[in-house]
Amino acid sequence: METGAILSWTLQQEIPVPADVQNVLAQGEQAVASFRTFRDSATFTTRRLIVRDAQGMTGKKVEIYSLPYSSVLMWSSENAGTLDWNSELELWTKAGHIKVKLAKGVDVRRLDSLIAWGVLNAH
């Protein structure tokens, strides 16, 4: 039974792929795009979404979330409106519901296309 988003991130702007994300890529997997979040980063690869979550006061403790596209059951995307600055990408997965907010300037249709490519090629 689902009561709401279990995870939520806001992607603020595109950045180079972080080195510690490069180190967790599987053989043959390629990073396609990375985005800065408040203190962290989210990277879309050819196989999954990887979110780097810095924790604690110093941010030295890092948790890495890995969501294989094969676990995505459904997704939706919503572009920003006139009064609403953020776009959204929502993912319904085998693990639960994930909401990804996109700051002004992040191309929601590009990410929608990336998710579509990953999910449809993974199933």
Q: Spell out the residues 6+ positions from residue 52 whose beta carbon is closer than 8 angstroms to its own.
A: 18, 20, 21, 40, 41, 42, 43, 62, 63, 64
Average pLDDT, the chain: 85
Classify domain 7-122 by CATH number: 2.30.29.50
More confident residue, 16 or 85: 16
Q: Say how far apart CA 83 and CA 114 lie, in whole Å.
A: 26
| 3 pLDDT more than 50 | no
**Are 77 and 102 spatial neighbours (Cβ–Cβ below 8 Å)?**
no
Q: What is the pLDDT of residues 67-100, one digit of tens each?
A: 999 999 999 998 876 556 678 999 999 888 998 8
